[in-house]
Amino acid sequence: MVKFKTFDSFYKRKTDGHDTTKITNQNNKRSKASTSEPLPEEHIPETRGPNSEEDDPNSLERDPAKRKQLSSYPVNQREQVRLAYLNLGPFQIKLDKYPSKGPEKRPRRFQDSWFKFFPNWLEYSPTTHAAYCFLCYVFSDKPNVRHGSDAFTAKGFDNWKKVNDGKNCKFLKHLDSSHHKNAVELNNRFNDHAMELLALASSLVPNKDSRAFNVDEICLLVAKYYPEDFTEQERIHLRYQLEIFKVEMSKNQILSGVSSIAKLCTSLEETKKSETYHLLSRLIRLLLTLLVSTATTERGFSVMKLCKTKLRNKMEDGFLVDILVVYIEKEVAEKLDSESVIEEFKNVQGRRAELYLIF
């Protein structure tokens, strides 16, 4: 008699007799194990969290080929890692003999004398035996892969034949690249003096801990970077004010809870303590206006490139300064009356001919 198959049978899993017995044996073992002794728990490997040793800036990888890119770190930790690497400096290891590359008749290898020519950025990895750029790594979150710009940041450069090649030297071409120039400019802005200034200024922010308010570092900040803004007598009184303010900060919740220098200045005004601690208030205002004064200086250099061109390369310093002042202070210059300027210029020295304004 022929057996008819139903439509649902086509969707059932096919198993032979051996598989069926195997499944039943496994089920019997499980049932016995559940009645007698519990099965041992599976060992789950521990995964590293965001606060593991790998992400700790104090245990950073020095080898350029093994270290992680800054983009792989958490966003709130990148600046801390960047500062840690800047304090360590480039990884310039010196070996007795570097591995050679190229034909046997004319082998090429890395030279430790290149560290003297490029001391600020050149690095060498003993793992990949390649050269890297320290500044391009530190000041770029992600390596630029266009036109082979990641050779000195991610892949590594090991074509030693093209190093001592005159104008076509790859090291010199890397120095002229826009990516490296931007990194050098950022490095110049965050030099040792700027980093020290920011570190000393951070002593003003207690971060809910009055012990972080360091009086000695604040006095060092004033003596080293603001000697003309405070007299010697005011520096002595400033130390006394800081000692008293430190005690009052530990008792005042508003002052101890500030998280930035700007909020500290606002809290002094709200609590009307700016008159009592007037020297401290002056120092805070000087620090807050630091960014504005730096931006004005950079704006002056940018304007100088526009005013002093190749056709005006013989311009004297006095005339150049006058032009820069008029160009930078456009809002003030527009309010000046042209006739008053002519009269002022005519009164400086007697003129035989009359000066008129021609439109």
pLDDT in tens, 170-191: 888 888 888 888 888 777 766 6
Specify whether 277 is located in the same domain as 174.
no
The two tokens of residue 43 are 């060992």
Residue 38 binned pLDDT confidence (cut-offs 50, 70, 90)? very low
Q: Which of 179, 168, 163 is nearest to 131 (CA)?
A: 163
The per-residue pLDDT for range 231-283, each reduced to its tens digit, is: 999 999 999 999 998 888 888 877 777 778 888 888 888 888 888 899 999 99
Residue 69 binned pLDDT confidence (cut-offs 50, 70, 90)? confident
pLDDT, average across residues 277-298: 79
Mean pLDDT computed over every residue of the chain: 76
* Distance between CA atoms of residues 156 and 136, nearest Å: 12
Residue 288 binned pLDDT confidence (cut-offs 50, 70, 90)? confident
Specify whether 130 is located in the same domain as 229.
no
Specify whether 176 is located in the same domain as 96.
yes
* Distance between CA atoms of residues 33 and 215, nearest Å: 69
Residues 6+ apart with CB under 8 A from 222: 229, 230, 235, 238, 283
- pLDDT surpasses 70 at 5: no
* Distance between CA atoms of residues 213 and 205, nearest Å: 7
The two tokens of residue 184 are 């050098």
CB 279 within 8 A of CB 241: yes
In a domain, 340, yes or no: no
- pLDDT surpasses 90 at 40: no
Specify whether 198 is located in the same domain as 168.
no
CB 132 within 8 A of CB 157: yes
Specify whether 184 is located in the same domain as 240.
no
Range of the domain at 270: 192-288
In a domain, 336, yes or no: no
Specify whether 243 is located in the same domain as 272.
yes
Establish how many alpha carbons lie within 13 A of residue 78's alpha carbon, considering only the half-sphere containing its beta carbon. Answer: 14
Q: What's the structural domain count of the chain?
A: 2
Specify whether 104 is located in the same domain as 209.
no
CB 306 within 8 A of CB 286: no
Specify whether 142 is located in the same domain as 223.
no
In a domain, 37, yes or no: no
- pLDDT surpasses 70 at 138: yes
